[in-house]
């Protein structure tokens, strides 16, 4: 195998891991996709994909960080979540990774609910906060998937034109 092929293979693996990372919170999804695309462009000597495209891909990667922060925080703040609920979401997400695939969906919800309940809220309010935080996370995943699709489309457009 020649060296450029190995770089393309590694780039493809990074992109696949990145796409998985958009759904699995343990992996930095969008940054991995960006690194894979950057590696593919580098392996080609930037002859097909140049710096303007790569800067646009970097901007989309930065946008994904904003989406992650805003989706979760706005979902939680909309119903008056406490800091304990946000920490509960984080802990629940990490714990949920050990109970895949159901834990991935229920971990953040249960974590936010327990965090809010620990904060001293009534069970009904804690449940609303848990659901709102969970919905924010799901919205963030959906928007980040859209960002990754846009990144792949932009890269493909630049590569083949």
Q: How confident is the model at residue 39, as a pLDDT? A: 96
pTM attached to this predicted model: 0.78
Look at residue 75 and tell me whether its pLDDT is greater than 80.
Answer: no
pLDDT digits (tens, 9 = 90+) for 9-32: 999 999 999 999 998 766 789 999
Greatest mean pLDDT among 34-43, 63-72, 80-89 lies in 34-43
Domain count, the chain: 1
Look at residue 91 and tell me whether its pLDDT is greater than 90.
Answer: no
Range of the domain at 52: 3-160
Q: How confident is the model at residue 59, as a pLDDT? A: 97
Query: Environment class of residue 118 by beta-carbon count within 10 Å: exposed (0-12), middle (13-18) or buried (19+)?
Result: middle
SS3 (DSSP) at 30? helix
Q: Check if the beta carbon of residue 9 is closer than 8 Å to that of residue 3.
A: no
Query: Environment class of residue 132 by beta-carbon count within 10 Å: exposed (0-12), middle (13-18) or buried (19+)?
Result: buried
């Amino acid at each position: 195998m020649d060296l450029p092929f190995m770089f393309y293979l590694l780039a493809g693996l990074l992109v696949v891991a990145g796409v998985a990372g958009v759904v699995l919170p343990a992996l930095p999804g969008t940054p991995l996709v960006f690194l894979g695309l950057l590696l593919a462009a580098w392996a080609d000597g930037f002859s097909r994909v140049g710096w303007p495209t790569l800067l646009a891909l970097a901007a989309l990667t930065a946008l994904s960080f904003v989406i992650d922060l805003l989706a979760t925080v706005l979902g939680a703040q909309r119903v008056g979540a406490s800091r304990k609920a946000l920490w509960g979401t984080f802990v629940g997400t990490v714990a949920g990774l050990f109970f895949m695939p159901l834990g991935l969906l229920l971990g953040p919800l249960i974590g936010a609910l327990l965090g809010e309940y620990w904060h001293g809220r009534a069970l009904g309010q804690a449940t609303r906060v848990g659901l709102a935080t969970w919905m924010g996370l799901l919205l963030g995943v959906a928007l980040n998937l859209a960002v990754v699709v846009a990144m792949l489309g932009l890269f493909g457009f630049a590569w083949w034109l």
